């Protein structure tokens, strides 16, 4: 049987002389993320591609302009994107303990029309997907967040957020692995180490992994 094809549409945007952005969609969706990861893996096997990094629903591709043109690479990307990704193996499951005592917990719950306990219950209900790793070493963008918890980012970001802080913003949640600035709503904290500088890769989470939060008390 010939391989199954997909009708997924790809938008390709030049990024200078030696890179392109292949956009598979704009929504936060696990199926699109699976396609992005598969497309990046396929592109990495090409000799004319230097690097391919999957995003939520896109792939940033750095290529060798001495080996391939923008147009030829775009055609190859569109061809690869029509192939259905191989059957996905479930990513590793991480169970993350959280002390839900963040400085924004009560204010976020009030803005959502929930009690703090209801917010905690909603946050701990899903098994989240790690869409991509970035922002700072060890940070994973996790989602989708339940609709009941969707909030815009804080109007004024904090200049310093403690490592281990568990936060929500938009349709995503995450854990700050290092002390850094941040504009997400802080609802709790975890002692799990996310940035592992002596490991390869140096992050506990990898794209495609699954994350389940559960509450603990100190």
Instruction: Give the torsion sign (CA, 149, 153, 155, 157).
Output: positive
Over the chain, what is the mean pLDDT? 91
pLDDT band per the 50, 70, 90 thresholds, residue 1: very low
For residue 43, give the 3-state DSSP assignment: helix
Same domain, 97 and 64: no
Average pLDDT over residues 131-142: 90
Same domain, 53 and 102: no
Q: Give yes or no for residue 149 having a pLDDT over 50.
A: yes
Beta-bridge mates of residue 13: 21
Domain termination site, one of 81, 101, 120: 81
Same domain, 100 and 182: yes
Instruction: Give the torsion sign (CA, 118, 102, 202, 58).
Output: positive
Determine the Cα–Cα distance for residues 115 and 112; give it in Å rounded to an integer. 9
- Number of domains, the chain: 2
Reported as a single tens digit per residue, the pLDDT across 88-104 is 667 899 999 999 999 99
Reported as a single tens digit per residue, the pLDDT across 154-211 is 999 999 999 999 999 999 999 999 999 999 999 999 999 999 888 888 899 998 899 9
Same domain, 102 and 210: yes
Same domain, 165 and 188: yes
Give me the pLDDT at residue 192, please: 96
Q: Give the single-character DSSP code of 149.
A: G
Give me the pLDDT at residue 26, please: 84
Domain termination site, one of 22, 48, 81: 81
Tell me if 5 is assigned to some domain: no
Q: What's phi and psi for 93, nearest 5 deg?
A: -100, 125
Same domain, 122 and 151: yes
Determine the Cα–Cα distance for residues 71 and 82; give it in Å rounded to an integer. 17
Same domain, 76 and 102: no
Q: What's the pTM?
A: 0.81
CB neighbours of residue 112 within 10 Å = 17
CATH number at residue 65: 3.30.1360.40
Domain termination site, one of 33, 56, 81: 81
Determine the Cα–Cα distance for residues 139 and 133; give it in Å rounded to an integer. 6
User: For the ranges 9-13, 132-136, 167-171, which has the lowest average pLDDT?
Assistant: 132-136
Q: What's phi and psi for 113, nearest 5 deg?
A: 75, 30
Average pLDDT over residues 122-140: 92
Same domain, 98 and 188: yes
| Residue with the two structure tokens 């500088």 | 197
Give me the pLDDT at residue 3, please: 45
Same domain, 64 and 113: no
Identify the domain containing residue 72 by its residue range: 11-81
Tell me if 87 is assigned to some domain: no
Same domain, 98 and 198: yes
Give me the pLDDT at residue 88, please: 61
Same domain, 62 and 112: no
Q: Residues 40, 52: contact at Cβ < 8 Å?
A: yes
Q: Residues 194, 101: contact at Cβ < 8 Å?
A: no
- Token pair belonging to 125: 């209900």
CATH number at residue 173: 2.40.100.10
Determine the Cα–Cα distance for residues 37 and 56; give it in Å rounded to an integer. 9
Reported as a single tens digit per residue, the pLDDT across 18-49 is 999 999 988 888 888 988 988 999 999 999 99
């Amino acid at each position: 049987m010939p391989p199954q094809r997909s009708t997924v549409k790809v938008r390709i945007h030049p990024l200078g002389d030696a890179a392109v952005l292949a956009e598979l969609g704009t929504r936060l969706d696990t199926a699109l993320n699976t396609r992005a990861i598969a497309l990046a893996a396929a592109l990495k096997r090409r000799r004319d591609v230097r690097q391919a990094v999957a995003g939520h629903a896109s792939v940033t591709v750095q290529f060798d302009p001495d080996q391939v043109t923008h147009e030829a690479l775009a055609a190859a990307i569109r061809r690869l994107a029509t192939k259905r990704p191989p059957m996905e193996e479930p990513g590793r499951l991480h169970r993350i303990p959280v002390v839900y005592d963040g400085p924004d917990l009560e204010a976020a719950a009030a803005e959502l029309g929930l009690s703090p306990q209801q917010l905690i219950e909603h946050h701990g209900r899903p098994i989240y997907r790690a869409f991509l790793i970035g922002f700072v070493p060890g940070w994973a963008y996790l989602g989708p967040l339940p609709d009941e918890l969707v909030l815009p980012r804080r109007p004024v970001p904090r200049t310093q957020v403690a490592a281990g802080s568990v936060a929500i913003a938009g349709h995503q949640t995450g854990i700050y692995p290092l002390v850094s600035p941040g504009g997400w709503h802080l609802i709790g904290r975890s002692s799990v180490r996310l940035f592992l500088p002596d490991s390869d890769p140096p992050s506990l989470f990898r794209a495609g992994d699954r994350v389940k939060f559960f509450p603990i008390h100190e």
